[in-house]
Amino acid sequence: MALLLGMPGHICSTEAEGELLQLALWWAVGGQSLQAKARVCFLLARHHVHLKQPKEALPFLERLLLLHSDSGALAASWPTDCSLLLADIYSRKCLPHMVASLQTQGSLASSLRSVDLVLRNATQPPGLPVQTSHYLRQALASLTPDMGQPLCSPLYASLAQLYSHHRCHGPAITFMTQAVEASAAAAVHAIMDCLVALAWLHALHGQSPVALDILQSVQDA
């Protein structure tokens, strides 16, 4: 078992190995070793995920994240992946409030995966749920200069759509203006769609003359 715990690439593929890991967890708990408990929880979670047993993996994923928090370890990328996997399992168990409560921090990909999880578990009427705002902002913050402006525009436009859906037209105009600017900087053809959407937001905000000026510029172009 000590050899198994020291083999990071080994994946348990039989129920018998799972039983051995359960025994190892019992020993780790008795020995009060934080690192040993975390290691065994990780192996048990991976074991059940590999066997497509998400329900059985759930308690070990939860415990693993708690142990990581208690250890005061340096920031790493794996807790984000662990949290997203946990959120996916919660969604399968019809616990959308648990999905929305997860605050992951990571890459653009993890932020967009978080948006996808929230959308798949949305219980409110059609439209972007409020919880997506955090992850969309997080996605924007994770963008690096080498990614360029094209990715900024749809993210800003999504935030504008979210605020408009909740009748917050002032912030929606700000975000859609940023979407237009990002599209222009990247020479993206979708700028016309953004301009029309911006005009509509101004109209909803009681600024019809501004909306007409924008539509006139679109027609001239």
Residues 6+ positions from 39 with CB-CB distance below 8 Å? 5, 28
Rounded to an integer, what is the distance from CA 15 to the centroid of its chain? 32
| pLDDT (average), residues 4-17 | 58
Show the domains of the chain with their CATH numbers. Answer: 144-221 (1.25.40)
What per-residue confidence (pLDDT) applies to 177? 95
Lowest mean pLDDT among 19-28, 45-54, 99-108, 162-171: 99-108
pTM, entire model: 0.67
Cβ 45 vs Cβ 61: under 8 Å:
yes
Summarize pLDDT for 144-203 with one digit per residue, the tens: 776 656 788 899 999 999 999 889 999 999 999 999 998 887 676 778 899 999 999 999
